Amino acid sequence: MKRALTLMGMLFATVLTGTQAASANEYPLPPSGSRLIGENIIYNVSNAGHSLEAIAAEYKIGLLGMLEANPGTDPYLPTPGSALTIPTQMLLPDTPREGIVVNLAELRLYYYPKGKNKVIVYPIGIGQTGMNTPLKVTSISQKIANPTWTPTANIRKRYAEQGEILPAVIPAGPENPMGLFALRLAMGQGEYLIHGTNANFGIGMRVSSGCIRLRPADIEALFNTIPQGTRVQIINEPVKVSVEPDGKRYVEVHQPLSRVASDDPQTMPISLSKKQKAFADDQQTDLPVFESAVVRRSGMPVLVSVGQDPADVSFAPVEPQSANNDIPAEAPISSVN
């Protein structure tokens, strides 16, 4: 969490404001019994001077996901000529492939369009420590275009303690912190939403007061395709495991969510479920490799089958690139943002 807050401050000054966030990654659904999708990409950093956030936006990745995959990379200015891994291979969460699945620990939202044999993956921003999004199976109760924002009493108090007095209502428009589109979740008092943002930073980080944030192009695409009433499942699982139909065994480990500000997500303990413990203890799992993956926390699938090289992962070829309504529009929203 400490790293996330530091990076958020740095990125105020370093994100390229002209960068256009592309639409999210789409993957064909794997066959029954398989959860592995995508291929990682190797990106060669150019001399154009783009920040890591700009590169992440180009490939529809969250910032902390990029840092998990590329530890030690300078978020201000990655070293020209260096090679970055773009983590576009992943394991689907072990959940029903229906509607939206949000895995807070991996800072990703998975959308399974009904009747389509595909999954769309969006990087997200989530709640800061102490402002967590509840774990729940719920639904989209309302679609709101051009939302206004009515800060809650707690948000107004927190800002006031920092010397900033928020207006009672922030009008709809490009300066609204909620962006131009919002999806209200049917939980709490309606204060939890999936929405956009007016900032070119914070996606793939813990920056909100409990809402789920998407980049502007991503929330627009999701808003325009998702029906009201769609199922939403929110989970918090930093570890995912899979035995694929070909017998290969994979583990994907993300940094767990910090509980207090002093937690270090890279070193804090991770609890394994009974299923994950059984996977690790299976004779077909290379336990030292599995344990190494838990320590490393790369956010990418690691091959942990006995007798297999854990570095045996596929990379998609890529050329170097530069980062480039159901209610009235005036309806206010009181949310945790």
Give me the domains of the chain, ranges plus CATH numbers. 95-236 (2.40.440.10), 239-314 (no CATH)
Using only C-alpha atoms, the chain has a radius of gyration, in whole angstroms, of: 20
The C-alpha angle 317, 216, 150, rounded to 5 degrees, equals: 155
> What residue has token string 């990125």?
11
Write the burial class of residue 170 (CB in 10 Å: 0-12 exposed, 13-18 middle, 19+ buried). buried
- Pairing mode of beta strands 36-37, 90-91: antiparallel
Q: Do β-strands 181-185 and 40-44 pair in parallel, antiparallel, or remain unpaired?
A: unpaired
Whether 195 is catalytic is yes
Catalytic-role residue among 1, 211, 219, 257: 211
pLDDT tens, 272-303? 999 999 999 999 999 999 999 999 999 999 99
Q: What's the half-sphere exposure (Cβ side, CA atoms, 13 Å) at 294?
A: 17
Segment 167-175 long-range contacts (CB within 8 Å, at least 24 positions apart): 169/332, 172/146, 172/147, 172/148, 172/329, 172/330, 173/146, 174/198
SS percent in the chain: helix, strand, coil, step 5: 20, 25, 55
Write out pLDDT tens, residues 235-275.
Answer: 999 999 999 999 999 999 999 999 888 899 999 999 999 99
The sign one gets for the Cα dihedral 145, 150, 154, 157 is: positive
Residue in the block written with tokens 């927190």: 158
pLDDT tens digit at each of 337 positions of the chain: 444 433 433 333 333 323 333 345 999 999 989 999 999 999 999 888 789 999 999 999 999 999 999 999 998 889 999 999 999 999 999 999 999 999 999 999 999 999 999 999 999 999 877 778 899 999 999 999 999 877 777 777 877 878 887 777 778 887 888 899 999 999 988 889 999 998 767 788 887 768 999 999 999 999 999 999 999 999 999 999 999 999 999 999 999 999 888 899 999 999 999 999 999 999 999 999 999 999 999 999 999 999 988 776 655 554 433 333 232 333 344 456 6
Catalytic residue among 50, 60, 195, 249: 195
